[in-house]
Amino acid sequence: MNLSVLVGSCDKYEFIWEQFFVLFDRYWDHSMDIKKYFLVGEKDIPSNSFINLKSKTNDWCDSVLYALDNIDTDYVLWLQDDYFLQKQINYIKFKKYLSFINDNHILRFGIYQHNPAYNYSININNIFRLSQNSCYTISMQASIWNKDFLKGSIIYFKKHCLNFKLDPNQWNFETHGSSMLNRLIENHRICIDIQSKPWYLEALKQGKYTFDYYNICRREKLIGEKI
């Protein structure tokens, strides 16, 4: 399968890694024989199933570019360390995703919940296409990216940040990057398979535990922070 998993993190969120790995191992379809990468600054990770990528930088753009330069597949499934899986998407489903992506030349294929900020223009077999001027056409929610498109977008975004004195972080990448994408690429191809039951829950918000974190820790019998 021409796909790798890339989990974005940084050293300061080390406190959540072990729980992420427990849930990933519990819900990932291990019949998918693909490489899995975990992107950090300098620390070692508590997992033997992921390749530990150490970017040795606090610059988000440079860190992700470093990871992409070390991945040899054409497509990358982006996750983050606080995306706590709670259901399985199986190998057959991922094969269908990749077939759809290849057949339709999709640049980013999201796998997450509905958000009222999104504006959909097309529905093909329950796959929704984001309209040209939708918010968050660039999103760091779980997505399969064309690796070259992701890399090129980050490079262009960072140059834009330098010109306009913006912080080149992932939140600005989503907002300013979406605006740039909508303006610069006519008929961009961004799609999403909206999950009726969330594939994952976000365990952190601005570095602090969410209610979902405590709920999933109770349900999955994980050791949590005062749960």
pLDDT tens for 72-125 read 999 999 999 999 999 999 999 999 999 999 999 999 999 999 888 889 877 777
Q: Please give the residue that has the higher pLDDT: either 163 or 199.
A: 199
95: Cα separation from own chain's centroid: 18
Cβ distance 88 to 197 under 8 Å?
no
The predicted pLDDT at position 117 comes to 87
Domain 3-220 has CATH 3.90.550.10: yes
C-alpha closest to that of 113 among 149, 143, 133, 90: 143
CA distances in angstroms from 139 to 109, 114, 153, 159, listed in the order given: 10, 13, 12, 19
The predicted pLDDT at position 130 comes to 95
User: Which whole number is the average pLDDT over 185-213?
Assistant: 94
Q: What tokens appear for 112 in the block? A: 């997450």
User: Which whole number is the average pLDDT over 156-163?
Assistant: 90
User: Which whole number is the average pLDDT over 53-61?
Assistant: 96
The predicted pLDDT at position 227 comes to 40
Any idea where the domains of the chain sit in the sequence?
3-220
Q: What tokens appear for 145 in the block? A: 């990216």
Which residues have C-beta within 8 Å of that of residue 63, sequence separation ≥ 6? 8, 10, 39, 41, 55, 57
Token pair 């497509």 in the structure block, residue: 75
pLDDT tens for 164-176 read 788 999 999 999 9
Cβ distance 133 to 197 under 8 Å?
no
Rounded to two decimals, the pTM is 0.95
Average pLDDT taken over every residue of the chain? 94
Cβ distance 32 to 104 under 8 Å?
no
The predicted pLDDT at position 133 comes to 93
Cβ distance 51 to 76 under 8 Å?
no
Percent of the chain past pLDDT 70, that is, above it, reads 98
Token pair 């064309």 in the structure block, residue: 146
Can you count the helices (H) and strands (E) in the chain? 6, 13
The predicted pLDDT at position 75 comes to 98
Q: Please give the residue that has the higher pLDDT: either 163 or 91.
A: 91
Q: What tokens appear for 62 in the block? A: 């440079």
